[in-house]
Amino acid sequence: MENFESKNLNNKRVALNTLGCRLNLSETGSIAQGFKDRGYDIVEFGEPADVIFINTCTVTDSADSSCRNLIRKAHNSSPEGKIVVAGCYAQMEPEKIAGMQGVDLVLGNSEKYKVFEYLDEESENQVHVDKSWEFFGAATTEADTHTRAFLKIQDGCNYVCSFCIIPFARGRSRAISIKDAVSEAQKLVSSGFKEIVLTGVNIGEYEQSSGEKLHDLVASLLAIDGLERFRLSSVEPNTFTDELIAVLKSSPKVMDHFHIPLQSGDDEILSAMRRRYTVADYKKVIAKLMVAFPNAGIGADMIVGFPGETKEQFENTFNLAKELPITHFHVFPYSKRKNTTAAKMENHIHSAEKKSRVKSLIMFGDAKLNLFTEDQIGKITKVLFERRNKLGFFEGYTSNYLRVQVQTELDLSNQISNVCLTRIESGKLFGELLQ
Ligand code: SF4
């Protein structure tokens, strides 16, 4: 974040905040750029601002309540500022949000990109939420530091997982063409980004939505001169094809970190969730990836306490997570979402029991990540450095998505350097810069 002192005090100020997934983060990046292009200065959320833009999530009840807390915080720090609430929660509960103190604009997922026009309209408490589901804000986005960019190639989802509200909040699947994706990626590379992260709600739906193959898209992106690192965000296990793995393996630009939602390690629960794979399918995908990328970090979402989940079924999830080389656990308690099939199911799990299952899986996940990290000590890896932290160390991510810090006088911002991983202290990974 730039220093506020160095800014033109006549400029308008905007503070942005994002809840939820990487896709939301990438979309906020695009919108932030739009504000900058219109002469706004971006300030930290919580500082006084003329406009406060909150891009929301509605994946769980706690996401909804975090959003309401952010609105209250924004109103306290900028009582005169215009508060814009946009995105998935705004799409689902516009009137409730519009009724909150200080809220000026409520924008759905398509309308959020037109925030600048709505701000010019000057009328108060406007709600703009429709279901046109255009593809917006597609490609060029900016991450919080000028190193990794998120490239959105797909939005919406045609699956109907029984717990999920996202298809209601983001509409049916749609995608951009390979040609457009490459052109946007080229712009990102020309503007200095070294790493591109491919994002979407369900990027495995790319072929259904665009008529082109996901692995062809990835191959075209990997061929871009000047692009140095490439990551995939979440890919559903049933859409992780052999062709895709072959394309990924063929390029040294591909980072060996993959996010493959698991949700449950029990076939009956997977079927009740209407997931499109079995435990055996999931295991096969992971096994293939580990052959291609033996040092990979693997992230997996897991939902604990789905309606009717018995202790044994939870243990199946726990044991599968133990057996497989999953390193980054993303554990969520099942959360009832209105109008979903799962919400109407019987045998909802008591919240105390859910909490205890979640806690045990998170604790186990932390221990497994520590073991994986310890295992990396002595290895040499390339790190894309982002920024100097408050303690004076430079930080960045390894290819398999471990945050590492090094001591150096050099300015390593947006540099890729070889690092020998040397030690873990207070849970943090340290390395030494190699020349
Ligand atoms: S794949 Fe399932 S969980 Fe993921 S967005 Fe689509 S409906 Fe939701």
Q: What is the mean pLDDT of residues 397-414?
A: 96
| Six token digits for residue 111 | 């309308």
Of all atoms in ligand 1, which is nearest to the CA of residue 201? Answer: 5
Q: Whose CA is nearest to atom 2 of ligand 1?
A: 161
Pocket lining: 161 vs ligand 1, CB cutoff 6 Å: yes
Distance 12 CA to ligand 1 centre (A): 38
Instruction: Tell which CATH architecture fits domain 4-128.
Output: 3-Layer(aba) Sandwich (3.40)
The radius of gyration computed from the CA coordinates of the chain, to the nearest angstrom, equals 22
Beta strands 195-199; 148-152: pairing state: parallel
Right CATH number for 380-433 from 3.10.110.10, 2.170.190.11, 2.40.100.10, 2.40.50.140? 2.40.50.140
For residue 382, what pLDDT is reported?
96
**CA geometry: angle 278, 280, 281, nearest 5 deg:** 65
Higher pLDDT, 315 or 142: 315
DSSP-assigned states of every residue in 190-219: HTT--EEEEE-S-GGGHHHHHSS-HHHHHH
Segment 73-89, tens digit of pLDDT: 999 999 999 999 999 99
pLDDT higher than 70, residue 17: yes
For residue 7, what pLDDT is reported?
53
Lowest mean pLDDT among 145-154, 227-236, 393-402: 145-154
The arrangement of strands across the sheet holding 229-232 comes to 148-152, 195-199, 229-232
Q: What is the mean pLDDT of residues 84-99?
A: 94
Distance 305 CA to ligand 1 centre (A): 18
What is the C-alpha to C-alpha distance for residues 435 and 425, in angstroms, rounded to an integer?
24
pLDDT band at 291 (very low <50, low <70, confident <90, very high): very high
61 backbone dihedrals φ, ψ, rounded to 5°: -60, -35
For residue 87, how far is the Cα from the chain centroid? 14
Instruction: Give 360's contacts (C-beta < 8 A, 6+ positions apart).
Output: 318
pLDDT higher than 70, residue 427: yes
For residue 234, what pLDDT is reported?
94
Q: What is the mean pLDDT of residues 285-308?
A: 98
Beta strands 103-107; 154-155: pairing state: unpaired
| Six token digits for residue 307 | 């309606």
Q: Whose CA is nearest to atom 4 of ligand 1?
A: 202
Asked whether the beta carbons of 224 and 188 are under 8 A apart, the reply is no
Q: What residue type is 237 in one-letter code?
A: P
Pocket lining: 178 vs ligand 1, CB cutoff 6 Å: no
Asked whether the beta carbons of 420 and 434 are under 8 A apart, the reply is yes
What is the C-alpha to C-alpha distance for residues 361 and 57, in angstroms, rounded to an integer?
24
What is the C-alpha to C-alpha distance for residues 316 and 137, in angstroms, rounded to an integer?
40
Pocket lining: 273 vs ligand 1, CB cutoff 6 Å: no
pLDDT higher than 90, residue 435: no
| Stretch (H or E) spanning 97 | helix 94-98
DSSP-assigned states of every residue in 261-309: --B-S-HHHHHHTT-S--HHHHHHHHHHHHHH-TT-EEEEEEEES-TT-
Instruction: Tell which CATH architecture fits domain 148-376.
Output: Alpha-Beta Horseshoe (3.80)
Instruction: Give 21's contacts (C-beta < 8 A, 6+ positions apart).
Output: 57, 59, 234
For residue 9, what pLDDT is reported?
60
Residue with tokens 């000026």, as numbered in its chain:
104
Q: Whose CA is nearest to atom 1 of ligand 1?
A: 159
Q: What is the mean pLDDT of residues 39-46?
A: 94
In the chain, what is the greatest distance between 2 CA atoms, to the nearest angstrom? Answer: 62
Of 81, 96, 74, the C-alpha closest to 12 is 81
pLDDT band at 304 (very low <50, low <70, confident <90, very high): very high
Q: List for the chain the helix, strand, coil content (%; round to 5).
A: 40, 25, 40
- Select from 161, 199, 208 the residue to mutate for testing ligand 1; criterion: most ligand atoms less than 8 Å from CB: 161
Domain boundaries, the chain: 4-128, 148-376, 380-433
| Six token digits for residue 21 | 């997934």
Q: Whose CA is nearest to atom 8 of ligand 1?
A: 164
For residue 33, what pLDDT is reported?
86
Q: How high is the mean pLDDT of the chain?
A: 92
For residue 248, what pLDDT is reported?
98
Pocket lining: 165 vs ligand 1, CB cutoff 6 Å: no
pLDDT higher than 70, residue 136: no
For residue 55, what pLDDT is reported?
96
